[in-house]
Structure 1
C-alpha cells in the first residue's frame, strides 16, 4: 500500500518551515506599517514646542552675546580714540621739535648770509675812506658858503686896472674893462665882488646834489644841498661868517645795515666853541648820504645846558631831515 504523501492526486504535505517564514513576513509588515503611521503622525502634528524655561535660557544667551559684542565694539572705539589722541599729541610734539629745527636752520642761514654780505677788510677800509673823503669835500663846500656870507666887501680887490693888455680878477666881470691904468670906481669894485661871490658859490648846490639821497634834499625840511649854516638859528646870515669852520670827522664804524655814520662839527675859529653839528648816514653801495640830522649848541653865556635848549628850557632849533630822523640836541662824540 502506497504512502499518501507520495500519491500524485493527494494534497501536498505541510512544510514545517513555512509557518515561520510567514510569521516573519507578517512581523515585517507590521513594523513597516507602524513606521509609516509614525511618519504620517509626524507630518500631521507640528514639532513639539519648547518649554518656557528653554526659551528663557535661549533669550538670556542671546542677550549676553549681544551685550558682550556691544561692549567689545565700544572698547575698540575707545581704544581707537585714545590711540588717535595719543598719535595727534605725539605728532604735535614732533612738529614742534621740527619747527624748532627749522627756525634754527633759518637763523643759521640768515647768519651765514649776513656774514657773506659783510665786506672784506680791504673793501671795508675803502668804504670808510670814501665816506671820509666825500665828507671832507662837503665840509669844504660849506666853508666856501661861510666865506662868502654877509655884506659885499671890496677890501681885498685891486685898486687899479691892470693897464693896456693886462688882466686881473675883476676883468671877467666888467662889461667894459679899462684899457688904461686907472683907479677902479666903487661901482666897478662892487660888480667885481658880486661876480666873484656868484662864481664861487653858484655851482656848489649842483656839485653837492649827487652826494645826497632824495630824502636828504627835502626842501620842506633841512635841505642838505643848501647852506647848512642857514639852519643854525644862532648865526646871522647878514653878518660875516668867515670866522666859522665846518670840520668833517673821520668815518670809523659801520652800522647794522653797513651804513657809515659821518659827523660834521661847526666851530668858531677864535674861541674853538662848537656852534652846531650835523650827522648823516653814508651808504657805500650808492655813495650817497641820507638821514641828515642837524643839532645846535647853546652859547656858554646862556643858562641852558648844551643839549640844544635855551635858558627857558625850550629847543633852540634842532632840525632833522630824512625819514625817521629824530631831533637831537647837544654835541655828539667824535667819530659817532
Structure 2
C-alpha cells in the first residue's frame, strides 16, 4: 500500500437551479492512497497543479443533462486541469510526467481512463497555459475558427464574450488571418484590453448598449461575414440580422443562457434561409486529432509574442468555488485558473 494522505476536494452540494452560488459547492477533506490500486490497469494517479474554470461546467451541475453528464451530489466536481503523474499503470505515462485533461477538483486524483489525457509537450511555456491557450479553450478557438468559419482575408468577424478564454484567442487568430475583428465584452476595462492589448479593431461594452441590432450596424455597416458565438439569446438574434449573404456562424457556447430556467428564443431564424447562412455547433472533443496541427501554429505565435494571452489565477483549492461563480458574473478577465499547487 502507498502512503495515505489528506486530499482536499470541491464537492457538489446542491444541483444548480438558476444562477450558480458558492453554497452549491463545499470543501471536504478525504484520504487517498498515493498508489494505484491493484487491478486498476490503464490508470494514473496525479497531483493536480492547475484547475480550469470553464463555462460548460455549470451544465454538469444541473440535474438535467444538456450534452454532458451531470455530476453526482456529494462527490467531487471535475473539469480540465494540469497535473503531475505520481503513479501509473498506463504504458504511455510515466511517473513525473506532466499531463493535461479531465481531472477531479481536488488535490490528488485517480484517473482510471488515462487515454483521455495529453502529455504537456513544451516546458518553456507556463504550465497554466495548458488549461487555456494550449489546452481545451485554445483548441476550441482554433477548431471553431479554421474548421467552421472558413475565414478569408478581408472578411469581417464579430466575437461575443471576446475577453474570455476562447474569445480572446479567436480574435487574435482572426487578425493573423487578415480579418476585420470586433468583440463584445462586459466592462470598459475589458473593452480597453481587447482594443489596446489584444489587437481587436474595435470592441464595445454590451451592458451599455440598449439595441444590439443598431450597435452591430454601427460597427459592421456592410454586414458580418463570420460570427463566433459565445453568448446566445438577444446577441445571436442581432448578429443574424446583420449577417451578410453566405455568412458563417460557429456556435461555441451560449453563456447568457446557462443560468436560465427557460432559455431565450431566437425569432429571426428565417435569415438562415434568406441569407444562405451556415450556422453550426461543435464540441471540441470531436476534433482532438488536430491537436498536433494546432500546436504547430500556436506555439510559435506565443513564443514570438504575436499572440497575447490573459489569465486570472486564483490561489488555492479553497478559492475554486468563488472563482467558478465569478465566471458567470463577468468578474474575471481572460482565462480563469485555480492554482492548486506549484510544481
TM range (shorter): under 0.3
The structure number with the bigger radius of gyration is 1
TM-score by length of 1: 0.21
TM-score by length of 2: 0.21
